[in-house]
């Protein structure tokens, strides 16, 4: 269905499935809008075909390169339903006068809960227990308590702080490293990254892209027998190096929700020391609805402020 004249076009294939409020907001705004009804994630070219004259896109993770952006006739804003904006060419957007908005607050609780869940699943060997019990083997695996552990948070922004908050009742010691904290949060006590890696029983990544990279050298700096969690960005670590240090026995395990390429088809798929989830830390009904409401309101407010 072509929506050439809409003010707002929603690219999300599941928009409104978690609740009716985003659709209600669009209808009550009085603006013309269209919604992707294909049931699948569109490419930027497919978005162009459906609504090349939209002023605002309520967008997902589809890629918007310089060429794509220049082909939209009236585009002035991309309202991301989510936090990351790496899928949008920011240099091109700035040149074209396209504003990029996102929803950084809404996913915080969900990602923090997912992170703590992965920590507990690794420590208590939940996947091993589930696999063996279903196979008819009444085999018990000795796990570890979260209580008393040192948790290193690499990145201490919204999500890192929420993870720390959720962990406090478990009686853990928190170490934090944040490359931006000296500029943005001078009151936060910041540990050296090498110190965090060396002392932490669990290292959990919560940084933006291109701020930290955990490769073989960094993995070997980690405490022997420690564990790694990544619910931030897939390109923060080298999955081949992670597979190597797990094979060496230097790390006891890892849990990843994000990957260098997605869908993931890499070396960690067959590694039983690793828990893998398909980039779904934010995927709760409550969070999805909150993000869609926020992204929709951002779009409506942008048009109201830029008439």
Exposure b/e, 227-265, CB count within 10 A at least 16 = b: bbbbbbbbebbbbebbbbbbeeeebbbbbbbbbeeeebe
| CB-based burial label for 281 (10 Å; 0-12, 13-18, 19+) | buried
**Token pair for residue 203?**
């290292």
Q: How far is CA 159 from CA 120, 125, 162, 214, 251, in A?
A: 18, 25, 5, 19, 24
- Distance, C-alpha 142 to centroid of its chain: 31
User: Active-site residue numbers?
Assistant: 233, 262, 279
Q: pTM of this prediction?
A: 0.90
Contact indicator for 52, 72 with CB cutoff of 8 Å: yes
Q: What is the pLDDT of residue 198?
A: 96
Which pLDDT tens digit goes with each residue over 263-304? Answer: 999 999 999 999 999 999 999 999 999 999 999 999 999 999
Query: Whole-angstrom Cα distance, residue 277 to residue 209?
Result: 19
Bridge partners (DSSP) of residue 101 are 79
Which pLDDT tens digit goes with each residue over 137-146? Answer: 999 999 999 9
CATH number listed for the domain at residues 108-276: 3.40.50.720
Q: Which fold has domain 8-105+285-305?
A: Rossmann fold (3.40.50)
Decide if 8-105+285-305 and 108-276 have a common fold: yes
Q: How far is CA 238 from CA 28, 230, 254, 256, in A?
A: 47, 12, 13, 12
| CB-based burial label for 9 (10 Å; 0-12, 13-18, 19+) | buried
Q: Where are the domains of the chain?
A: 8-105+285-305, 108-276
Q: Which helix (H) or strand (E) holds 167?
A: helix 158-167
Which pLDDT tens digit goes with each residue over 41-96? Answer: 899 899 998 888 899 999 999 999 999 999 999 999 999 999 989 999 999 999 99
Which pLDDT tens digit goes with each residue over 194-237? Answer: 999 999 999 999 998 888 999 999 999 999 999 999 999 999 99
Report, in angstroms and rounded to the nearest whole number, the Rg of the chain calculated over CA atoms. 21
Contact indicator for 83, 107 with CB cutoff of 8 Å: yes
Contact indicator for 272, 248 with CB cutoff of 8 Å: no
SS3 content of the chain, % helix, strand, coil (to 5): 40, 15, 45
Assess whether the previous peptide bond of 94 is cis (omega < 30° from 0).
no
Which residue, chain included where needed, has tokens 């929420």? Answer: 162
- Average pLDDT for residues 16-26, to the nearest whole number? 96
Contact indicator for 175, 153 with CB cutoff of 8 Å: yes
Whole-number percent of the chain with pLDDT over 70 = 95
């Amino acid at each position: 269905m072509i929506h050439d004249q809409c003010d707002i076009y929603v690219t999300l294939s599941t928009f409104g499935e978690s609740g009716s409020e985003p659709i209600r907001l669009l209808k009550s705004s009085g603006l013309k809008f269209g919604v992707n009804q294909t049931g699948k994630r569109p490419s930027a070219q497919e978005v162009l075909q459906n609504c090349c004259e939209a002023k605002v896109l309520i967008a997902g993770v589809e890629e918007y390169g310089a060429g794509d952006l220049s082909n939209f006739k009236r585009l002035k804003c991309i309202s991301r339903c989510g936090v990351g904006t790496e899928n949008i060419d920011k240099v091109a957007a700035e040149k074209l006068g396209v504003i990029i908005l996102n929803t950084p607050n809404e996913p915080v609780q969900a990602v923090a809960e997912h992170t703590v869940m992965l920590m507990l699943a690794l420590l208590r060997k939940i996947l091993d227990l589930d696999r063996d019990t279903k196979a008819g083997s009444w085999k018990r695996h000795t796990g570890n308590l979260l209580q008393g552990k040192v948790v290193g948070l690499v990145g201490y922004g919204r999500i890192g702080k929420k993870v720390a908050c959720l962990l406090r009742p478990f009686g853990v010691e928190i170490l934090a490293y944040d490359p931006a904290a000296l500029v943005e949060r001078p009151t936060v006590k910041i540990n050296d990254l090498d110190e965090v890696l060396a002392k932490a029983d669990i290292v959990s990544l919560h940084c933006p892209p291109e701020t930290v990279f955990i490769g073989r050298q960094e993995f070997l700096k980690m405490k022997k027998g420690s564990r790694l969690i990544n619910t931030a960005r897939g390109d923060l670590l080298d999955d081949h190096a992670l597979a190597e240090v797990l094979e060496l026995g230097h790390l006891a395990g890892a849990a990843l929700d994000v990957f260098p390429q997605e869908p993931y088809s890499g070396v960690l798929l067959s590694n039983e020391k690793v828990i893998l989830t398909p980039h779904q830390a934010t995927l709760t009904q409550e969070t999805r609805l909150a993000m869609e409401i926020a992204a929709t309101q951002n779009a409506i407010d942008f048009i109201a402020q830029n008439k």
